[in-house]
Structure formats: structure tokens, C-alpha cells
């Protein structure tokens, strides 16, 4: 009878020769190098903070100007000052329509009780202002939600309402 002697190695003793702390350290260094390599192309672009801030402020100024035009337009309509409201209409619309046409648009319009400007979006030379409106007819109020006024920037840089288009 032949007897075989096998030695079973203790698997617990033969773990990885790289300790866990070293593995984490090498992984972290590799991660930092990877981030550095990925961010290298961004270094070639010079960021001018002054230009960035000016463009942001200019955008806010444009939004405020567009909202101001719409606000004034509704104030003029509420006070029945249609001549001043007509001045806020775009040159393109004025070339196709007269002040009489504009007045005729408001012949059967009810009285504006209240309006609320909700949002503004400016894209290049076009702006849109969202608003809610409450009007009154025969002492009954009716609310209109999520209406939009479109504006166009004129050659002189002022915002005008795109009334008919």
C-alpha cells in the first residue's frame, strides 16, 4: 500500500503580496493622473473672467429691458393710453399697420384688471416674456395663464413688441 502525503497550503497565508493600503494609494494616484490628463485641453483656453462677467451682466440687462417694455405696454393699455403703447410696437409692425389698426384691435377688448410677468427668455435679438392676465367684462373677472409676448430687438438696440406676427 502506497501512502500519499499531500501538503495543503493555507490559502489564508498566500494573499496578494500588495497590501490594501498600497492598492488604494496607487489607485488614487492613477485617478489624479487621469484627471490631470483629461483637463489638459482646458488649459489651452484662456478664461477671461471680466468678459464672462460682462456677458452675464449684459444678458441680465437685456432681460430687464425686455421685461420693462412689456410692463410699460400693459400699463399703457390699462390706462387706455394707446398712443404710448403703440410706440412700443416693432418698426416692422408699424410699417404694415397704422395706429388706427392698433386702436381697432382694442375696440372689443375687456378691461385689464391685473397682469403678472412670470419669466423672460432672451436669445440673440428675440425675447419672450411669459405672463398671466386677469381681465374684467361686465364685472366678471377671467384669468388667463401662461400667455407669451414676443419682442424683437430693433437696430437701435431697443426692444419692441412683435404685435401682429
Taking 70 as the threshold, does the pLDDT of residue 48 lie above it?
no
**Residue 109 falls inside a structural domain:** yes
What's the confidence (pLDDT) of residue 44?
46
Query: Once rounded to an integer, what is the mean pLDDT over residues 143-156?
Result: 94
pLDDT band with cut points at 50, 70 and 90 for residue 129: very high
Residue ranges making up the domain that contains 79: 49-161
Task: For residue range 4-15, list pLDDT tens digits in order.
Answer: 554 545 545 555
| CATH number of residue 89's parent domain | 3.10.450.100
CB atoms within 10 A of CB 135: 16
**Looking at the chain, how many residues does it have?**
165
Whether the CB-CB separation of 106 and 129 falls below 8 Å is answered with: no
Report the number of distinct structural domains present in the chain: 1
What's the confidence (pLDDT) of residue 38?
64
Amino acid at each position: 500500500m502506497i501512502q500519499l502525503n499531500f501538503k495543503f497550503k493555507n490559502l489564508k497565508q498566500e494573499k496578494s503580496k500588495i497590501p490594501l493600503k498600497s492598492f488604494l494609494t496607487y489607485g488614487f494616484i492613477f485617478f489624479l493622473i487621469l484627471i490631470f490628463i483629461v483637463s489638459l485641453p482646458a488649459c489651452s483656453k484662456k478664461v477671461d473672467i471680466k468678459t464672462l462677467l460682462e456677458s452675464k451682466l449684459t444678458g441680465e440687462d437685456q432681460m430687464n429691458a425686455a421685461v420693462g417694455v412689456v410692463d410699460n405696454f400693459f400699463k399703457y393699455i390699462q390706462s387706455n393710453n394707446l398712443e404710448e403703447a403703440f410706440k412700443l410696437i416693432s418698426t416692422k409692425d408699424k410699417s404694415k399697420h397704422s395706429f388706427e389698426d392698433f386702436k381697432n384691435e382694442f375696440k372689443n377688448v375687456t378691461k385689464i384688471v391685473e397682469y403678472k410677468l412670470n419669466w423672460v427668455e432672451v436669445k440673440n435679438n428675440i425675447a419672450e416674456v411669459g405672463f398671466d392676465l386677469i381681465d374684467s367684462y361686465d364685472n366678471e373677472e377671467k384669468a388667463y395663464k401662461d400667455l407669451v409676448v414676443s419682442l424683437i430687438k430693433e437696430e437701435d438696440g431697443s426692444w419692441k413688441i412683435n404685435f401682429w406676427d
